[in-house]
Chains A and B, each alone.
Chain A
Amino acid sequence: MNKHTKTKNDAGRGEEKITSVVNRRLFLRSAGLATSLGTIVIAAGCNDDDDDPMIPGTGDTVDLGSGDIGVLNYAYALEQLEAAFYTQVIQTPYSGMTDAEKTILTDIRDHEIVHRDFFKTALGDKAIKGLTPNFGAIDFTKKDAVLGAAKLFEDTGVAAYNGAGKLLKDPNYLLLAGKIVSVEARHAAVIRDLINPKSADFAGDDIIDMNGMDKAVAPADILSAVKGYVKDTITGTNVGK
């Protein structure tokens, strides 16, 4: 995988671009996020491919590990990205951020930091390293861009935890995942309500299926969807195995 990273600026690049577009498209279809979230994800991909804010060599290959530890590291990776995102949102508020919005986004930032640090502590020496996020594609000065990205992260987080639950063998870890996923779902609903107040979007038909169910997405598809937002290359082939 290191080789893969190093070839980013040479001939291997075209091939990687195609692969990542396909992966992204596959994820979007499977997660049903295409219509509402496609713009942001695709924009992230373009930035990644064209401007290459990922300086070759800064990104490491990070293996999440196997079994339950792999699942916990997977959650830890996602929480790291969320915590870093909201930290940036509060550090550089978008223009016109209301007090009410700031309170909500600060609350969410704190929850994600608590989740991140909880996993780090729980994993101890089995924890993956701190990841380097890549939010180059998100315009933090614009409300639409920030809330759109927040919606993507929260919906993705919910789908990720829902898809990872059955991979866990230890019921205590399953309960912990359950305690966190419903908080992510609360975030998703509130962010969606900020974007389109008092509409059905908080649990919209774009994300909830005809059985009234949220998404459940496998780690491989989630990792593929978020890879534009992290400089490191995350491998999760053995998560839950």
Chain B
Amino acid sequence: MDIFKIIDKFQQIDGDAVGRLEYASRRHFMNRVGSKLASAAIPTAFAAIVNKAFAQSAAAVDVLNYALTLEYLEDEFYKAGNAAANLIPASDKAIFTQIGKHETQHVAFLVKALGTKAIAKPTFDFMYGGAFGDVFTNYKTFVTVSSALEDTGVRAYKGQAGALIADPQILEYALQVHSVEARHAAVARRLAATLLGNPAMKGWITGKEGAVAAIYAGEDNMTQGGVNIKGLASKSDAAVTEAFDEPLTKEAVLAIAGPFIKK
């Protein structure tokens, strides 16, 4: 691997990387001048950049690896779906190609950010132990699972925001991915609503409405900022619950995702 190519790639993500690299290299050089160890400076400095930019705290590494697990899952799911013959109708190809592209990009970003700390890709079972046995042959099942994965992704990222408050740059990246997952979720939900013949299912989540009931627990919450806002602005419960998406803890998400993960 060409170290400069890597740095160049890295610079596209972290505009400040070269500045930090120069600083770190200079310091290292000053310490090691005249020593054979000088040649080791660049890899060391590079690792320092990774640590500084993306892994400022152990909590952040945990969050990023948790996110990577979910992104691996989504990425593999859309790769298989997009590759399956006669699954996605031509009319909807553009949507799932775009979603799949983003999940691949999320995986690549996280793997790069975590470096050697990145977890290995798990092996997945998208049939969910048989519950979604026809997921890659029946479009209705595929879209059902897609909407569930995206909504779970939104809830999962939201649930980690507080854990990243001490790492502002990582928090911002997480938020930037979070809203993309929400865009995916809205479109997948609308496709699912049509296929399942369920007009109560909209791009936003009314009460606990969704194609896989188990993952929407708590979405009907109406206590926001410690205040019960039922009836706020004389709006219906539907409108009030739609206006706020709810988080899930890591434990709850992993319980949902668990049956997808073989090892």
Query: With contacts A107-B202, A180-B244 known, is A122 near B184, CB below 8 A?
Result: no
Q: Is the contact region of chain A dominated by helix, strand, or loop, or is it mixed?
A: helix
Q: Is B81 an interface residue (CB 8 A)?
A: no
CB distance from B2 to the nearest CB of A (A): 20
A171 to B171, CA, bound (A): 12
> Which of these binds chain A: B56-64, B96-104, B116-124, B254-262?
B96-104
Query: With contacts A161-B175, A181-B179, A189-B186 known, is A210 near B242, CB below 8 A?
Result: no
For chain B residues 163-181, which have a beta carbon within 8 Å of chain A?
165, 168-169, 171-173, 175-181
Residue numbers in A under 8 Å from B162 (CB-CB): 171, 174-175
> Which of these binds chain B: A11-19, A137-145, A194-202?
A194-202
Q: Is A114 an interface residue (CB 8 A)?
A: yes
Residue numbers in A under 8 Å from B187 (CB-CB): 189-190, 193, 202-203
For chain B residues 85-100, which have a beta carbon within 8 Å of chain A?
91-92, 94-95, 97-99
For chain B residues 219-235, which have a beta carbon within 8 Å of chain A?
224-227, 229, 232-233, 235
A-contact bits for B123-166, CB 8 A (1 contact / 0 none):
00000000000000000000000000000001001100110010
For this complex, into which size category does the number of interface residues on chain B fall? 35 or more
A193 to B13, CA, bound (A): 29
Q: Is B190 an interface residue (CB 8 A)?
A: yes
A188 to B203, CA, bound (A): 10
Residue numbers in B under 8 Å from A168 (CB-CB): 165
7 nearest CB pairs, A to B? A212-B105, A185-B182, A213-B176, A212-B102, A166-B168, A200-B98, A182-B182
**Residues of A at under 8 Å CB distance from B?**
104, 107, 110-111, 113-118, 121-122, 158, 161-163, 165-166, 168-169, 171-172, 174-176, 178-190, 193, 198-200, 202-204, 208, 210-216
